[in-house]
């Protein structure tokens, strides 16, 4: 196998796409998160896509700590979720969540 035959693992989104167990579909709209921390705070974000068990948002709040539990509401659903990854881009951060049932 040559180096050029290996998958590109330089970005989290490309890597994540190969590990997904279910399809994602594009979605949009406002997202309201309430972080479940010692001093709860609310954050606003933009929905990017959804799947049966999670969703991805775009925001400018910096990294959200992995494992942080949140209450969420967006046009597709509402409930409780957990931060599972962050992808830092030049002008925003994308964060992936798994819905907690």
Do 62 and 71 contact (CB within 8 A), yes or no?
no
d(CA 51, CA 56): 9
| Structure tokens, 68 | 């942080």
- From CA 67, how far away is CA 1, in angstroms rounded? 37
Domains, the chain, with CATH or none: 13-20+27-100 (2.40.10.220)
Tens of pLDDT, residue by residue over 14-69, are 444 456 678 999 999 999 999 987 788 999 999 999 999 999 999 999 999 999 99
Pair of tokens at residue 90 = 């030049």
Say whether pTM exceeds 0.85: no
């Amino acid at each position: 196998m040559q180096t050029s035959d290996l998958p590109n693992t330089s970005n989290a989104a490309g890597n994540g796409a190969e590990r997904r167990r279910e399809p994602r579909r594009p979605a949009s709209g406002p997202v309201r998160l309430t972080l479940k921390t010692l001093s709860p705070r609310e954050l606003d974000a933009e929905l990017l896509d959804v799947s049966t068990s999670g969703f991805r948002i775009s925001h400018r709040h910096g990294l959200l700590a992995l494992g942080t539990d949140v209450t969420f509401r967006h046009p597709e659903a509402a409930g409780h979720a957990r931060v599972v990854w962050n992808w830092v881009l030049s002008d925003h951060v994308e964060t992936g969540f798994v819905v907690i049932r």
